Amino acid sequence: MSPVLTWSLLILTLPTENATARMRFWRALKAKGCAVLRDGIYLLPYSEEREGALRELTASIADSGGSAWLLRAPSLDASQEAEFRALFDRVDEYDGFIRALSEARKTVAGQTAADLTKLLRRLRKDYETIVTIDYFPGETATRAEVAWQDFVAHVDTVLSPGEPHAANRAIRSLSVADYQGRTWATRRRMWVDRVASAWLIRRFIDRNARFIWLTSPDACPADALGFDFDGAAFTHVDERVTFEVLLASFGLDKDPALLRLAAMVHSLDVGGASVPEATGFEAIMAGARERAADDDDLLDDMSRVLDSMYTHFVASEKSSDTGKRS
């Protein structure tokens, strides 16, 4: 194997009289995933972004009374490159994370939705911390990813039992006028996609909608319009969650504010691109779910939240359009 990697080397002397600064710099180096060649010499595989971060750290060390030099050099040969790569082995970190998932799995059944949301957020942060500094992912990284996805799916079955499988079918264009004063049914103990879909139905599709909260999808009455379960009239289709399917079905997907809500619902329900509002909405949803006496109360509580978010997004889109025209 011919040498292919270039490395950033940071050679430093930290200020001896400032223990706080020394600890701060040590934590910064650890957070960046730097390997230690020897005392005061740190190594990272070169990239423009990583070297920029090290350059900022170099300046901070100098400002604190220490000294630091940043160098760049290629591997001398294949043997040296293999030796350097080995310094970035994250097997122990991944194995520890997989063990933590195994222990956490034992506690899932007895936790509230709010507690499970906190647990997921903490473990996701732990996982992303390792992934961020895993510059040479291998088999253990794959095992950890599978374990993480399996754990998330397990928590989802507790938070939202009966989560639908995506159907592979066309989404028909429907008229709102044909769906007035109907009975709509979904699984009880609503989570994000179902509560957002129920809000959308009542706010934009069927203002006189009546809702039934099912103990099981099999209990859905024949004359009710089911949503967000396998076999329902409206459910996941391909990559779209139920909220997105309802938007497309009733021609509501031209509304930029609703599309921003859809991106948040999608992110929280099946993952994907990060949405700034998602974490806050998830926390509010978890708290409301614990506090509400039933799903009618939950829908009332979360409808006010979604109304406020929609109003904010409408104003934000108008402001953005005004800025573009000026």
Q: Are 108 and 33 in contact (CB under 8 A)?
A: no
Cα separation, 293 vs 174, whole angstroms: 34
Task: Give residue 187's pLDDT.
Answer: 92
Cα separation, 277 vs 263, whole angstroms: 10
Task: Give residue 84's pLDDT.
Answer: 95
Close Cβ partners of 29 (under 8 Å, ≥ 6 residues apart) = 10, 42, 57
Task: Give residue 65's pLDDT.
Answer: 87
DSSP lists the bridge partners of residue 67 as: 13
Cα separation, 232 vs 178, whole angstroms: 18
- Which contiguous run of DSSP H or E holds residue 8? strand 6-13
| pLDDT < 50 positions in the chain | 1-2
**What is the gyration radius of the CA atoms in the chain, in angstroms?**
26
Close Cβ partners of 153 (under 8 Å, ≥ 6 residues apart) = none
Q: Which amino acid is at 195?
A: V
Task: Give residue 258's pLDDT.
Answer: 97
Residues in the chain: 326
The pairs formed by 29-33 with CB atoms below 8 angstroms and a separation of 24 or more are: 29/57, 31/129, 31/133, 32/57, 32/133, 33/88, 33/132, 33/133, 33/134, 33/135
Cα separation, 164 vs 171, whole angstroms: 16
What are the structural domains of the chain?
6-86 (3.30.70.240), 91-159 (no CATH), 176-325 (no CATH)
Question: Which of 165, 234, 247, 164 shows the shortest CA–CA distance to 205?
Answer: 247
Q: Determine how many CB atoms are found less than 10 A away from the CB of residue 96.
A: 14
Q: Are 15 and 30 in contact (CB under 8 A)?
A: no
